[in-house]
């Protein structure tokens, strides 16, 4: 028998009171209970990184975390990156440098990079590029993603 519980998720500074099975993963809660479908599910077992979101500022694979575990923490998803209709510098750089093709992996890359840069400001550009090797893209061959990241780093740090 399934056990449901009411939890409150804080996502992009907005509260969502939702009723979920205790085994519901955070990615499904974000997509299906909070209506935030920008977080994508690829492998669903922690390999591809498409589902990456920030939990208390740290990149997390939301297919490997239960929604209940995120209660009381601040979750950020790709929907929270743009401010006042202005894209985040990293989003703009992905457009400018053709860092995406189908776009399926893009939200995961964006959240991973934002989380790494914000939480580890002392990392060098090369170390940040190394950190994003944990995410997979089936389309781009990675070179344009790396170009986009390198181009956005000065503004992100500034």
Contact residues for ligand FES, defined by CB under 6 A: 41-44, 46-51, 61, 63, 100-105, 137-140
* H-only helix segments in 8-137: 26-28, 89-96, 106-119, 125-131
Between residues 63 and 153, which has the closer beta carbon with respect to ligand FES?
63
Q: Supply the minimum distance, in Å, between the C-beta of residue 122 and ligand FES.
A: 27
Q: Supply the minimum distance, in Å, between the C-beta of residue 156 and ligand FES.
A: 20
Q: How far is CA 14 from the centre of its chain?
A: 17
The DSSP code for 21 is E
Q: Supply the minimum distance, in Å, between the C-beta of residue 100 and ligand FES.
A: 4
Q: Are strands 58-61 and 4-11 parallel, antiparallel or unpaired?
A: unpaired
**Any idea how long the chain is?**
158
Between residues 3 and 150, which has the closer beta carbon with respect to ligand FES?
150
């Amino acid at each position: 028998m399934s056990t449901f519980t009411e939890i409150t998720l804080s996502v992009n500074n907005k509260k969502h009171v939702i009723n979920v099975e205790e085994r519901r993963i955070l990615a499904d809660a974000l997509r299906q209970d909070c209506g935030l479908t920008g977080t994508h599910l690829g492998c669903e077992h922690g390999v591809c990184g498409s589902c990456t979101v920030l939990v208390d500022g740290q990149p997390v694979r939301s297919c490997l975390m239960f929604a209940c575990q995120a209660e009381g923490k601040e979750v950020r998803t790709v929907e929270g990156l743009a401010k006042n209709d202005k894209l985040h510098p990293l989003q703009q750089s992905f457009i400018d440098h053709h860092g995406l093709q189908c776009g399926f992996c893009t939200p995961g890359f964006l959240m991973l990079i934002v989380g790494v840069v914000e939480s580890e400001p002392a990392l060098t550009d090369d170390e940040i590029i190394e950190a994003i090797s944990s995410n997979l893209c089936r389309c781009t061959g990675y070179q344009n993603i790396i170009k986009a990241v390198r181009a956005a780093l000065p503004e992100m740090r500034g």
